[in-house]
């Protein structure tokens, strides 16, 4: 891929690559009703930030090592990340969770298909993600198989009970939902919840891209640190946008966090302090890159996270 000089153009090219690949990998040998429900949520658009981060990390490793391009190896993992992220949104919007009726500018899956089929479509997206990552294609070398297994393990942990699922469970408990005792989160608890609920998959997206691009163990560690701080900044900005953004621009219902009493950086720290926390997390992400001699698109993505409006 010829790298566009402009970040907006680069993001658009990566988004097109991901969307085109998603159209190919969506399962066809399944009942039409579940295929339609899965496609409905997956093709609704969105920023594609997580899969783009996977591709951008691989591009940064390629540039630093002079190897590659590794786009063919990495693209299935970028797609799998988007499958997992979309499944999480479908489940997150359910009446038993956030009970939202709008996502990516259109009615949520359970509004269109009902709770049962929405749950199943999320299950299908999640399971298909691991099928996509496990397929070797024409890349059968033992070294690549080892990379694939390592990357799959990273993403599984990021998406599971130790990561995104665990963070969502804490969020439910802190919001007083479900049949478990509610908890009150302090500042450290809130940060830890955000790092699991949102940050873990963002971190997994970057690390998987680095692994599949053949990054050294040291570079993988640095990229993991970078993405952990980036993920926290991303979620803090999300908290701010929920309070300040417009539904028409966000593509989801604005003001839901405050209305439902969800713990957020704004509810605990206030607006100005939340902005400072986001900037501090972004600075830590940039510093991690500088120490490893990595920058380029990864640094630009930090700036994009801080300045985004949706």
Residue 53: closest CA among 305, 278, 310, 309: 305
CA–CA gap between residue 62 and residue 215 (Å, rounded):
8
pTM of this structure = 0.93
Model pLDDT for residues 123-146, shown as the tens digit of each residue: 999 999 999 999 887 677 888 999
Determine, yes or no, domain membership for 180. yes
With b meaning 16 or more CB within 10 Å and e meaning fewer, what string describes 44-54? bebebbbbbbb
Determine, yes or no, domain membership for 183. yes
* Both tokens assigned to 262: 């969800």
CA–CA gap between residue 299 and residue 149 (Å, rounded):
28
Determine, yes or no, domain membership for 110. yes
What's 58's domain CATH number? 1.10.600.10
Residue 276: closest CA among 306, 242, 246, 301: 306
How much is the pLDDT for 70?
Answer: 87
CA–CA gap between residue 283 and residue 306 (Å, rounded):
11
How much is the pLDDT for 260?
Answer: 65
CA–CA gap between residue 168 and residue 122 (Å, rounded):
15
Determine how many CB atoms are found less than 10 A away from the CB of residue 195: 19
* Both tokens assigned to 14: 């990566």
Model pLDDT for residues 136-174, shown as the tens digit of each residue: 876 778 889 999 999 999 999 999 999 999 999 999 999
Determine, yes or no, domain membership for 2. no
Q: pLDDT-derived band of residue 1, with 50, 70 and 90 as boundaries? A: very low
Q: Could you give the number of structural domains in the chain?
A: 1
Determine, yes or no, domain membership for 1. no
Quick check: 208 pLDDT over 70?
Answer: yes
| Contact between residue 299 and residue 286 where contact means Cβ atoms under 8 Å apart | yes
Find the domain containing 281 and state its range. 7-307
């Amino acid at each position: 891929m010829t790298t566009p000089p402009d970040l907006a153009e680069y993001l658009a090219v990566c988004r097109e690559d991901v969307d085109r690949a998603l159209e190919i990998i969506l399962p066809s040998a399944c009942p039409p009703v579940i295929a339609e429900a899965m496609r409905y949520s997956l093709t609704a658009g969105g920023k594609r930030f997580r899969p783009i981060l996977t591709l951008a990390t691989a591009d940064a490793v390629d540039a630093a090592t002079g190897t590659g391009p590794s786009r063919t190896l990495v693209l299935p993992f970028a797609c799998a990340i988007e499958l997992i992220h979309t499944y999480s949104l479908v489940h997150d919007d359910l009446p038993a969770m956030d009970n939202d009726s709008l996502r990516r500018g259109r009615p949520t899956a359970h509004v269109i298909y009902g709770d049962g089929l929405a749950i199943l479509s999320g299950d299908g997206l999640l399971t298909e993600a691991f099928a996509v990552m496990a397929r070797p294609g024409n890349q059968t070398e033992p070294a690549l198989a080892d990379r694939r297994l390592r990357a799959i393990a990273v993403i599984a942990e990021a998406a599971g009970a130790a990561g995104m699922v665990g963070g969502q469970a804490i969020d439910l408990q802190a919001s007083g939902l479900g049949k478990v005792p509610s908890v009150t989160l302090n500042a450290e608890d809130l940060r830890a919840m955000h790092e699991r609920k949102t940050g873990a998959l963002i971190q997994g997206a970057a690390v998987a891209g680095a692994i599949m691009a053949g990054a050294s163990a040291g570079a993988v560690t640095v990229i993991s640190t970078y993405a952990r701080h980036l993920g926290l900044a991303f979620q803090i900005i999300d908290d701010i946008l929920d309070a300040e953004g417009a539904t028409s621009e966000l593509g989801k219902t604005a003001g839901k966090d405050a209305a439902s009493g969800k713990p957020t950086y704004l509810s605990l720290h206030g607006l100005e302090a939340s902005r400072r926390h986001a900037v501090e997390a972004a600075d830590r992400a940039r510093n991690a890159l500088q120490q490893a001699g990595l920058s380029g698109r990864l640094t630009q993505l930090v700036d994009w996270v801080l300045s985004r409006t949706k």
